Amino acid sequence: MIITRRRTLTLLSAGALAACAAEMDSDNTTTLAATPPETEGPFFPENTSVESDVDLTRLAGRGERAAGQVIEVRGRVLGSNGQPIAGARVQLWQANAAGRYAHTADAGNSAPLDPNFQGYAAIESGADGTFRFTTIKPGGYLVAAEGPRTPHLHWKIAANGRELTTQSYFPDEPANDTDFLIRAMQTDPRVLIARAGVSGAEGVPGYDWDVVLMT
């Protein structure tokens, strides 16, 4: 599929491509700017063998759902040529609604743990590069000596021998303007801000964010 300039502008309006410039190659195809990396942080799950299905709001054997605003996060994994990447390994991890990770490195955080929140998921992208998760909108939290962190999701995406670790953010969050990691970015941070989209399957808020891997 060759992506026209009009199609490129449509992609730019969705998630990670919101502020990327598309460059036209000599053969008149489009090269999309790669999604920039972000730090993995200290809270990558200590045990990825635990439950990791696409609904982070429910744990097997528990009747109660995780606390907080349920949301749907979806997007596509694309190559720099705009082609979808099938079978990419997409890992998601995050803080709970109170802004705490289920991780020993976050033991000093006074916010409560949520025993009903999965906190981590891993799937493969579909034939059209798509992925979709049901989760909780994470809370922000304070990093000592650095300042507050805005609500965000952590991602590790691997395909074709390449791996990208990055983060995504939510639109219209006041703390986006002061988050120290966003301010330190060398590229336009809007590429990592998801787009508020149509409601999810349960009528919950939906967020769309495409990620572009170098190919």
Is 207 an annotated catalytic residue?
A: no
d(CA 182, CA 38): 9
Say whether 152 is catalytic: yes
Out of 76, 100, 120, 141, pick the active-site residue: 141
In sequence order, which residues have a C-beta less than 8 Å from that of residue 148 and are 6 or more positions away?
Answer: 140, 141, 142, 175, 178, 179
Catalytic residue among 74, 76, 100, 101, which? 101
Q: Which residue among the candidates 74, 76, 103, 154 is catalytic per the annotation?
A: 154
Retrieve residue 166's tokens: 């990055």
Query: Which sign does the torsion angle of CA 13, 15, 19, 21 carry?
Result: negative
CA proximity to 3, closest of 84, 98, 93, 103:
84
Report which of 143, 138, 10 is spatially closest to residue 78, judged by C-alpha positions: 10
Compute the distance between CA of residue 16 and CA of residue 35 in angstroms, rounded to an integer.
7
Q: Which of 100, 149, 190, 195 is catalytic?
A: 149
149 is catalytic: yes
Residue 103 catalytic?
no
Q: Which residue among the candidates 152, 190, 195, 207 is catalytic per the annotation?
A: 152
DSSP per-residue letters across 51-109: ---SBTT--TT--SPPSS-EEEEEEEEEETTS-B-TT-EEEEE---TTS--SSGGGTT-
Residues belonging to the active site: 101, 141, 149, 152, 154
